[in-house]
Amino acid sequence: MREYAVVILLVMAVLGSGCVEAGGREVKTYKVGILQMTEVLDITVAGFKDGMRDLGYVEGESIVYIYRNANSDVKKLRGHAREIVGEGVDLIFSLTTPATMAAVEASRDAGVPIVFTPVMEPVRSGLVNSLESPGGRITGVSPMVLASKQLEILLEVKPGIRTLGLISSFDHAVVIEQLREAAEKNNIILLEYKVRKVEDVPKAAEVIGSRVDAIYVPPDNIVTKDMDSVIAVAKREKIPLMVPLEGGVRRGALLTYSADYYELGVTASRMADKILRGTSPGDIPVEFPLRPRLIINLGTAKEIGLDISPELLYRAAEVVGEVG
């Protein structure tokens, strides 16, 4: 009877520390926290989890996800981050700059490694020392696509743009500085409207919509939250609208030339795998999109009276809203 009890205790000890394969070899079960800022990034979470699965991590067996979503409420992030750290996670996958900052603060004493995306400016925000050598316990993927290239494509869609509207919640981001420089080189007047909260977005769209030849929205959590109001104004004024996410194009914006947000998650999963296998996050360079995706809404183009060239349609990764 005593021997039987000892066997039971040994089995319980093994099961408590991980899974056991058929051959008797123990497989560690990793806990990975996912701290999400907004449901807009569900596609990125899906990319991360699919990437981990393809790398051999089986959810519920060799990996368990501790998931928290702040639903665009920045105030909730700190509490969510503390809850994730309290679960004893081996790594945190954080989505957006605010979520990453909350994760860094909550995990400071525990020293939990962090992989981020889509953080636009990881160096300027103080999250990493440099893109090549992040240092510390954090690395990740930036969605940065050159604003100059985005403007170039916008000018292909509508040559002769003289006034461009910009709606954002920040002033000095790299992407906005790039856009200012590109607009100046093309003799385009940039009309900027800064919003502080989601409720400001409809007014911004109304004020700018009737005064510009096109509207540009950078990666911005606040504006993206009410992109529908910007889309409605752009359609009414019959002007092209370039947005940061393909979801906006599917809802009626004209186009996006941006990172593939699913692939951002996949790339982050490869970084997470390296870290879980022992590589220091600080030794893994920050990565960027290799192939930005051009997505065009052909139905919207017809609605606002624009002809999209066959050459541009050929270059598009996807054309949505096609009309007969």
* CB 320, CB 297: distance < 8 Å: yes
Give the amino acid at 170. Answer: F
> What are the helix and strand counts (H, E) for the chain?
13, 14
Nearest to 42 by CA among 261, 252, 270, 257: 261
- Check residue 63 and give its pLDDT: 97
* CB 235, CB 207: distance < 8 Å: no
E strands, 99-240, in order: 114-117, 138-140, 163-168, 189-194, 214-216
Predicted structure pTM score: 0.77
- Check residue 232 and give its pLDDT: 97
* Secondary element (H or E) of residue 215: strand 214-216
The pairing of beta strand 163-168 with beta strand 189-194: parallel
- Check residue 291 and give its pLDDT: 84
Q: How far apart are CA 24 and CA 261, in angstroms?
A: 39
Domains of the chain in start order, with CATH, are 23-144+262-283 (3.40.50.2300), 147-258+292-320 (3.40.50.2300)
> Which segments of the chain have a pLDDT < 50?
1-17, 22-24
